[in-house]
Copies of this chain bind each other. A is one copy, B any other.
Amino acid sequence: MRIKLLFAALLLGTSSVLAQEMNSLMFRAGVKSPELKNDSITFRLVAPKARKVSVSASWLGYNPNNLQLTQQRDGIWSVTIPQPDPELYTYTFVVDGVSLLDPSNVQVQRDGSRYMNALLVPGDYADNYAECSKPGNVEHVWYYSAENQMTRRMYVYTPYGYDKNKKTKYPVLYLLHGGGGDEDAWSTLGRTCQIMDNLIAQGKAEPMLVVMPNGNPNQYAAQTLGIPVKQDVKQYASGFDNYSSLVADIVPYIEKNYNVIKNRSGRSVAGLSMGGGQSFFIAFRNIDTFSSVGIFSSGLIGASAIGGAPFDAEAHFPGMYSNPAKYNKFNVIYLSCGEQDNRIDGMLDFKKKLDEKAYKGVVWEQYPGGHEWKVWRRNLASFVQLIFKK
């Protein structure tokens, strides 16, 4: 603080001006939370009038009874626990039954319409979720979808050093979110930019673009922009098989506006949950367009265990099992599910059927976790190391 006040004095000959000009960033008083120290983590909250303060934490099943704070002094509540394993977690405080963000933690993520604090416990694969010294850019791009008759938003990640005039063109991964998500989900909850930056910097993934569109046919863009949804949602009438706009509108836009490979060797599609089902349809319907596909925790494929009809790929694409030569053209068919996600049985069954028909490039991975981002971030990190290999 001494240095900062000196610094203030230098700036204008008085600290009071600076204190007003540089308000919250440097001079804001407050408790430290969360504090990671050695192997422990401490949460703190100022709540003098509270009767009960808890943390609702992703690694404790969001059950606030699992992590309660006690009041220390001056209305400051705290709790110290051992750090959970390296991972990007989310949490909120719960004070007398209402949820609130940790006012001392500026790391915040939105999941649908819910805001939660983020907490990165570093180490192991979670280091890929931290900022990299060679960061790529991300663009919020509006494009016209003739298919949907809407001007819609997508995010486009370009890798570090992306050169629009480079002779060697870049491949593109089209990456689809789940139900309740939008074009923002993969870059925030999914940590896509950091994962790509780190893996590319380490030479583990090829430099590629990642295009993250909005796969909800009634949304122009994420609901944070406040644009009313489109009432005409007929596109869903054909089920998960709805996202023809990706190939009709988005691929041409990207190939017109970016320095990318314009054939199947440079195109991949992957998605989680709803986006996994969309990826299945998009890839198998357009085998000449994409060279690989990633399907993470698809409810379409894992439907039987969660109350749906058993998944039958042959019914959707006649020949998939009876004449596999027709469809056995992908370099990579990556399938994955969380071990505690009940979609896993259906996903495994699909994998088994593809193996029985000797589909090439089939990769199966499973990770501890439910239907959650912890699993999908690892899926992304694995998948991008498999595709566009030279």
Contacts and interface: CB of A to CB of B under 8 A. Distances in A.
Contacts of A153: 135
A64 interface: no
Given A25-B179, A112-B28, A151 B138 contact: no
Contact of A10 (B95, B216, B237): B237
Nearest to A96: B49
Given A151-B133, A226-B107, A299-B20, A239 B138 contact: no
Contact of A179 (B22, B131, B226): B22
A25 to B, nearest CB: 5
Contact of A115 (B16, B115, B164): B115
A17 B308 contact: yes
Interface stretch (A97-105, A320-328, A354-362): A97-105
Q: How large is the interface on A (under 10, 10 to 19, 20 to 34, 35 or more residues)?
A: 35 or more
A38 interface: no
A236 B299 contact: no
A374 interface: no
A134 to B, nearest CB: 8
B97 A100 contact: no
A47 B22 CA distance: 35
Contact of A114 (B18, B103, B151): B103
A371 B113 CA distance: 31
Given A17-B307, A97-B47, A225-B131, A12 B300 contact: yes
Contact of A240 (B11, B24, B46): B11
A299 B112 contact: no
Nearest to A53: B98
A363 interface: no
A124 interface: no
A28 B107 CA distance: 24
A180 B22 contact: yes
Interface stretch (A139-147, A261-269, A283-291, A330-338): A139-147
Given A47-B98, A49-B96, A96-B96, A23 B140 contact: no
A34 B100 CA distance: 17
Nearest to A10: B237
Nearest to A23: B180
A175 to B, nearest CB: 17
A73 to B, nearest CB: 16
A106 interface: yes
A245 to B, nearest CB: 17
Which 3 A-B residue pairings sit nearest by Cβ, starting from the closest?
A22-B179, A24-B112, A100-B100
Given A12-B299, A25-B179, A106-B110, 15 more contacts: A7-B233, A11-B239, A14-B303, A18-B299, A21-B273, A23-B179, A46-B98, A50-B98, A99-B100, A131-B221, A131-B225, A135-B153, A137-B139, A142-B160, A164-B164
